[in-house]
Each structure stands twice: as C-alpha cells, then as structure tokens.
Amino acid sequence: MATHRNPADLVRVLPLDGLPATTAAPQLTAQQHRDMFRSMLLVRMLDEKMLLLQRQGRIAFFGPSAGQEAAIIGSGSVARAQDWIFPALREAGVALHRGFPLEQYFGQLFGNVLDPQKGRQQPMHFSSAAVHQVSLSSPIATQLPQAVGAAYAAKLRGDDVVVFGYLGDGATSEHDFHCALNFAGVWKAPVLFICQNNGWAISVPFEKQTASDGIAVKAAAYGMPGIAVDGNDVLAVRAATQMAMDRALRGEGPALLELVTWRRGGHSSSDDPSRYRDEASIPAWVLIDPIERYRDYLRANNIVSAAEEQTISAALKSAMDAALVTAEAAPGPAMDTLFTDVYATIPAHLQRQMESAGSDTSGRAEGAFPL
C-alpha cells in the first residue's frame, strides 16, 4: 500500500525494527508524559466501552480510534488553551485531553441534557466552547475551510491563536481540502492540517485515492511544508506538531502533517473491515500498538512503572463508570431549547410556538405549531 511506504522516510523518535531515530525526543516533563499516556489509555478504554454500549443498543453509533491514539494525543497535546480544534471523526481524545468532562462526552453520545449541543448532533460530533473544539462536519473535509477561516480571522485580529484542522486520508480527495490549503498558503494563516493517514477511507484503499507518494508531498503545491511522520510514535508526532506550531507562531504560515498510522478496527460501529481488508498484507511495523510502544519508552526511562499504570487505569475505569451512570440517567434536553437558541431575541412567531409547545406537546402532529 502506498501509504505504508518505507518507514525510514518518516519522522521518528522511538527506534523501530532496527531503524534509529530521525529526530530528537521532545523535551517534556515527567508529568507531561504521564498526561499523554493517561489520555492514550483513556481513548482505548472508551473505545472498548462504547463499542459494547453500541452493540447493546444503548447508543446508536460510535467511531473507534484504537490504533490511532499516538496520532490523536501526540498532536492534540501541543495545542494551548486558546487554540481551536476543528476535528474529523476520531479526535474526541483531543477534547478529553484538554479537559472535556466525561459526563458531557457520554451525554453527547446519548443526546441528552448533558450534551453542550443539547442533543442536536448525531453521536461522535463532540463540541465544546470551553475546550475550543468545534463539532466535526459529517460531510468529508468541510471542517478544513472552516479551520482556515478561523485562523485567518485570528491573524487579522492579532490574536495569539493557532488552529488545528484534522482530516483523514479520504478527505484529501475532496475539493474542500484543496481550497483550504490554497487559501491557507496564500494568506499564511496560522493553521496546522493534521492528516491521520490510516490507509483506508472507510473501504477505499489509499492507492485508489491518489497516485502521489503519500500525502505530505501535496503540501508543496500550496507553498507550505509537508511532514511525513510515524503516526504510531507519539513522541515523533508531538515533536513534528510542535515544530509546525512554532513555525505558525513565528508568522510563517501553515503546514501539512501526515501521520501514518493504522485503524485497528472498523471505520465505525457500522463497519466490518474483514470484508475488504487483509491485514496479512500489511507491513508489521504499521500494526505495532502505539500504546505498547510508548509504554516501553516510559518503563525504560523510569517515568511510569507497571504499578503506576495500574493505578492510572483503575482511576480511569472508576471515572468512566461513574460518568456513565450519571449520563445515562440524565433527561433529554428541555423542549424550549428548540426555540431559545435560534435567535438572540426570540421573534414573535417562535415565542408563540414555544408557548404552544409548553402548554400541550402530547399528540401534536408535525407542523401543527401556529405560525
């Protein structure tokens, strides 16, 4: 597969199959390492829990991230509090790393009152102004021009903000990808395009998406650097993202990062990858678990012991279980939010509809609210 080319060509910190590092490890504190490792474990544990809930019929849909934790957390951990995230399907872990409460995470999947969006988006469309994460767009790649617009606005206002625009490899076949990179390059907008290239756009393999040697090479056409990274190496992802971030903060414009990784499961809970994917044909290095790889580094450098990991995992499980109990018992959003969130000042016709809905919502036919 074209996406899983020679690993020697990728930015790497952690040695792999006899290949040495190509860049220095980022200078992180022990606590920063622990925080990243904790978030990677949380993403994996949530995947396992949510897929079970979906199979039990308790939630409708879920998009798993297993295998891509290093790409998600390694990049998202670089973002500062004031920076904005425009995600694709698998970046809920970025919001969680930045403080998104588990109760709200579960509330979004249930579509209840705990969801900051009041249950108006389908599952996996996590969004929160508190952690500066915008809802993903179900149409592929539409978040990228939005990310460029936000970044250009920040530049015009002189705000100290960098915008992260996430995408999958399939999004590079959409016109919004090209429009976004073109405008970002012309405007030198402070935006990072972060592509998790897991080799498949649902069931379409990368070699049927493009004839180019990977995705990073596409950046040259838009006047920005492209960086191809071992996306299963969380430290390489962190180092490459920080380099692109520093460049944007110097006013030098956008960058495109290609994080070569692997989706361990299906595209979503509705997908069966065994119908189209033969893992026996995939190079072994791509299949290495990013959590195990990081764990080996943390053990070797005496940062997180086996006992400490058990403590972290137990605390995460306890927090997940408690948040799930709270979220599943929460009621649906209040009826009046259908009307109060449309305009800053409710116009007369919506006021009448809200009053009518409040007085009698039983047995009302669709379209029966008075205009």
In whole angstroms, give the CA distance from residue 337 to residue 249.
39
pLDDT band at 360 (very low <50, low <70, confident <90, very high): low
What was the pLDDT predicted at 364? 42
123-150 confidence digits (pLDDT tens): 999 999 999 999 998 899 999 999 999 9
In whole angstroms, give the CA distance from residue 50 to residue 44.
10
Token look-up 């919001």 returns: 95
- Does position 63 have pLDDT exceeding 60, yes or no? yes
What was the pLDDT predicted at 38? 98
CA angle 293, 225, 2 (to 5 degrees): 55
- Does position 196 have pLDDT exceeding 60, yes or no? yes
What residues contact residue 57 under an 8 Å CB cut-off, 6+ apart?
none
What was the pLDDT predicted at 17? 81
7-62 confidence digits (pLDDT tens): 889 999 999 887 889 999 999 999 999 999 999 999 999 999 999 999 999 999 99
pLDDT band at 281 (very low <50, low <70, confident <90, very high): confident
- Does position 370 have pLDDT exceeding 90, yes or no? no
What was the pLDDT predicted at 39? 98
Mean pLDDT of 159-165: 98
Q: Does 175 participate in catalysis according to the annotation?
A: no
Contact between 98 and 90 (Cβ < 8 Å): no
In whole angstroms, give the CA distance from residue 364 to residue 271.
37
Mean pLDDT of 332-347: 90
CB atoms within 10 A of CB 8: 11
Which segment of 190-199, 200-209, 274-283 scores lowest on mean pLDDT?
Answer: 274-283
Q: pLDDT higher for 278 or 165?
A: 165
What was the pLDDT predicted at 363? 39
Mean pLDDT of 309-314: 98
Q: Does 263 participate in catalysis according to the annotation?
A: yes
Contact between 196 and 168 (Cβ < 8 Å): yes
Which segment of 16-25, 69-78, 226-235 scores lowest on mean pLDDT?
Answer: 16-25
What was the pLDDT predicted at 359? 59
What was the pLDDT predicted at 1? 46
Catalytic residue among 55, 276, 299, 364: 276
Nearest residue to 293 (alpha-carbon basis) of 16, 34, 91:
16
Token look-up 């995600």 returns: 87
Strand ranges (DSSP E) for the chain? 84-86, 163-168, 191-197, 200-201, 204-205, 226-230, 255-260
Give percent above pLDDT 90 in the chain: 84
In whole angstroms, give the CA distance from residue 112 to residue 198.
32
Q: Look at residue 226 and give its three-state secondary structure.
A: strand
2-329 under CATH 3.40.50.970, yes or no = yes
Q: What is the pTM of this model?
A: 0.93
In whole angstroms, give the CA distance from residue 2 to residue 6.
9
Q: Does 97 participate in catalysis according to the annotation?
A: no
Catalytic residue among 90, 263, 264, 293: 263
- Best mean pLDDT range from 4-8, 195-199, 206-210, 333-337: 195-199
Which amino acid, 40?
M
Q: What is the mean pLDDT of the chain?
A: 93
What was the pLDDT predicted at 361? 46
- Does position 257 have pLDDT exceeding 90, yes or no? yes
What was the pLDDT predicted at 245? 98
Domain boundaries, the chain: 2-329, 334-371
Q: Which long-range contacts (CB under 8 A, 24 or more apart) does 80-83 make?
A: 80/162, 81/132, 82/132, 82/159, 82/160, 82/161, 83/132, 83/161, 83/162, 83/163, 83/164
pLDDT band at 357 (very low <50, low <70, confident <90, very high): confident
Give percent above pLDDT 70 in the chain: 95
- Does position 2 have pLDDT exceeding 80, yes or no? no
